[in-house]
Structure 1
Amino acid sequence: MHTIETAIVMPVILFFILVSLCICLKYTEIISCHADVLRESALQNKTNNADIARGGAVLYDFYEKHTG
């Protein structure tokens, strides 16, 4: 037979487990969104680095043509 303490404690424990699960899922979603933003930023930086390298090569060719 259940006592009053058990009848009070069990729902409280279940409530805290549910709240903890919701918090964990929310943080997982936030971390996932942040990871997507970082991934897109990294892809954008790779593109920018390629453009910089291409621009440097063009400047070097221009320099060689006009000095050599």
Structure 2
Amino acid sequence: MKYSLILITAVLALGMGAIAADESKELADQQDAEAQDSRNFVASRVCEGAPFSWEDDKTLVCHREQRP
């Protein structure tokens, strides 16, 4: 009986850990998407509607049209 209780407790703990890890990944993905949306909003304002790209986390490049 004692071993059954230990086994059940271990299985429940592993199951709860797996659920928590899955929820944590979903939350991280949602936060990443929100951060990217925020960066794109700021970049569109800074570049005044011109096309832009991010070289890295802190370097924004605004692309301007070249005149012939």
For structure 2, which runs of at least 5 residues remain unmatched after alignment?
49-68
**TM-score (normalizing by structure 1):** 0.67
What count of residue pairs does the alignment treat as equivalent? Answer: 49
Aligned to 1:39: 32
Larger Rg computed on CA atoms: 1
Identity %: 15
**TM-score (normalizing by structure 2):** 0.67
Aligned to 1:14: 7
For structure 1, which runs of at least 5 residues remain unmatched after alignment?
1-7, 56-68
Alignment RMSD: 1.4
Greater RCO structure (CA 8 Å; 6+ sep): 2
Q: Which has the higher strand share?
A: 2
